[in-house]
Amino acid sequence: MKPKLPVCTSRKVERILRGLGFVEDRQKGSHRIFIQPATRRRVVLPIHNDDLKPGILHQTIKDMGLTRDEFHSLLLGKARDRRAA
**pLDDT tens-digit series, residues 2-17:** 667 888 999 999 999 9
Structural domain of residue 54, as residue ranges? 10-75
Q: Tell me the C-alpha to C-alpha distance, in Å, between residue 20 and each of 3, 14, 37, 43, 50.
A: 22, 10, 11, 12, 23
**pLDDT tens-digit series, residues 11-48:** 999 999 999 999 999 999 999 999 999 999 999 999 98
Does residue 81 lie in a domain region? no
Q: pTM of the entire structure?
A: 0.82
The amino acid that residue 9 corresponds to is: T
Question: How is residue 68 annotated by DSSP?
Answer: H
Does residue 47 lie in a domain region? yes
SS3 content of the chain, % helix, strand, coil (to 5): 35, 25, 40
* Backbone angles phi and psi of 22, in degrees to 5: -80, 145
Does residue 83 lie in a domain region? no
Does residue 37 lie in a domain region? yes
CATH code where residue 54 lies: 3.30.920.30
User: How many Cβ atoms from other residues are within 10 Å of residue 43's Cβ?
Assistant: 22
Does residue 4 lie in a domain region? no
Does residue 1 lie in a domain region? no
Does residue 2 lie in a domain region? no
Query: What total of structural domains would you count in the chain?
Result: 1
